[in-house]
Amino acid sequence: MDKPRIAVFDEWIPFHIGTEIKLPENDNPINWSEFINSPEFLLTYDNGSRKEYRLQDEKAIDEIHRILKFQTCPICKSKMAPRPQDFNEQIYICLTYGFWGGRGSRMDNVSSKIGLRGVLGIYKPLVPLQDSTTEYLVSHLKKHPDQLPNIGPKRAEKFVMDLLSDYSNCEVKNVGGYKDKGIDGYIIKGDEISSIVQIKWRENMNGAESVKVIREVAGTLLARGIPSGILVSNKDHFSKDAIEDANLISKNEINKLGTMQLQLMDYHNILDMLEISNTKLTDKMRIEDWINFEQGHHVFDGAMRISDDFVKMFK
């Protein structure tokens, strides 16, 4: 059964755009990360206790006109999907990277005499909803795998368990918070522990993981009476001796346990898992999964009176 997906709106800005239709000649998209870190707001009201702003940024206005003509995502350059129109809305969404934008009117101001409003934003498609941090890591590290060592060992344990869960399509339980005699997690099939998981997370990914770690994990398998184990390391590869020992261990028949099996996963396997997890996190987002903005608020509300607290989020 597929896990539920829901669009969580992380960053979005409404603004006035007018009724003019521009037709840019070239598909030159906005640099979203640069824009969202420093949008230009104009102070429009200040009574000493409350301030209000409007977005005053030509880059945002130009981006709306680009989206309306080319309908391409500035992040991945793929075609964006149109949202079913309400009133005079024209909103397009990238179902892979979550970028969205368009223009239209407030629900109670649909008139040719009233200027239109634009909106740009990012949503996060999450699986499951409470794992937003893992979702972000998957998307970020898929684009920047060299930053794997920047994840601390404790966080890496939970992160790798989430990857393994998607990769093996089964339940993976993180031991969490403490060491349980060389075990960082379990793979659960049915009601039984089918494998133990050990993670070695290094600050330096270069070089090989040593044979010493293989022997430690083998000892843990025997001590726990569990014949199957997975050793995950963010090192570039395992040493020749480590691979040979893992192969020898995997050929052993242990009385009452059966055939031993020790699977090694290095940096390159982690990249494979990132690819699979990224696909599972994003490939099934549909227009129908969008939150209905008309239930409670509207995408174009607030364009004229942006609060001081809202503006502070972008500083």
pLDDT digits (tens, 9 = 90+) for 151-203: 878 888 888 888 888 887 788 888 765 555 678 888 888 778 888 999 999 98
Determine whether 300 is exposed, middle or buried from the number of CB atoms within 10 Å of its CB (0-12, 13-18, 19+). Answer: buried
User: Of the candidates 38, 54, 57, which has an alpha carbon nearest to the alpha carbon of residue 46?
Assistant: 54
Tokens coding 96: 């892979």
The ranges assigned to domains in the chain are: 7-125+285-312, 145-276
**Which H helix or E strand runs over 306?**
strand 306-307
**What are the pLDDT digits (tens) for 277-295?**
765 655 555 665 554 444 4
For 5-9, 43-47, 149-153, 276-280, which range has the lowest pLDDT when averaged over its residues? 5-9
Q: What is the 3-state secondary structure (H, E, C) of 137-167?
A: HHHHHHHCHHHHHHCCHHHHHHHHHHHHHHH
Tell me the residue type at 247.
N
Say which residue, 311 or 136, is predicted with more confidence.
311
Is the model's pTM score more than 0.75? no
Beta bridge partners of 51: 46
Strand partners, 188: 171, 193
- Which helix or strand (DSSP H or E) is residue 16 part of? strand 7-16
CATH architecture, range 145-276? 3-Layer(aba) Sandwich (3.40)
**Contact at 8 Å (CB) between 158 and 174?**
yes
Lowest mean pLDDT among 45-49, 112-116, 306-310: 112-116
Closest by alpha carbon to 93, among 81, 76, 75, 77? 81
Buried b (16+ CB within 10 A) or exposed e, 69-92: ebbbbbbeeeebbebeebeebbbb
